[in-house]
Amino acid sequence: MPHFSKGNHTFEQIETNKHYRLAGWINVGGKWNDALKKPNPRTPEEISAQLEIYELMKKHDAEITVVVQERMHGLEPKDFPAKQRIKMFVNNYENYQSASAPAQDFGAPAAPAPPSPAGSIIDDNDDMGWD
């Protein structure tokens, strides 16, 4: 059984002949607030738990594998055909500097990414994947 899942997702405006960057976040707390139409701010305890999970994953060189499966009526979820398998790596934020996950060969040289500003990874103003 997978540790994480989302039962239904539709990809929109994805061109198959382009390269994309995948990014993931560990989100703890920040339950959705219907009145504000955004997540509630995280507490210091939630931010601490989030950092603890990240540090544990980094310590053990953890990876997350995402499998994209096509939903098909009449099949059990375990039997949905896998269309993509994507491995994601823990980023290294030593000395609060932005660093990339291990380099991946996409078959063509990629342009270098622009430098990103250094900052604390537990800053609650960081983009944590919510719109």
Looking at residue 20, its pLDDT comes to 80
Output 19 or 43, whichever has higher pLDDT. 43
What are the strands, taking DSSP E only, across 26-116? Answer: 32-33, 38-39, 63-69, 82-89
Other beta carbons within 10 Å of 90: 20
Q: Give the model's pLDDT for residue 116.
A: 41
Structure confidence at residue 126 (pLDDT): 42
3-state secondary structure of 58: helix
- Answer yes or no: is pLDDT of 109 > 70: no
pLDDT bin (cut points 50, 70, 90) of residue 122 is very low
pLDDT category of residue 7 using cuts at 50, 70 and 90: confident
| Confidence at 1, pLDDT banded by 50, 70, 90 | low
DSSP 42: P
Phi (first) and psi of residue 52, to 5 degrees: -65, -40
Q: What phi and psi, each to the nearest 5 degrees, are found at residue 116?
A: -110, 150
Q: Supply the mean pLDDT for the chain.
A: 75
Report how far residue 87's alpha carbon sits from residue 54's, in angstroms, rounded to the nearest whole number: 16
Confidence of residue 107 (pLDDT cuts 50, 70, 90): low
Average pLDDT over residues 96-104: 48
pLDDT in tens, 43-89: 999 999 999 999 999 999 999 999 999 999 999 988 999 988 899 88
pLDDT of residue 73: 92
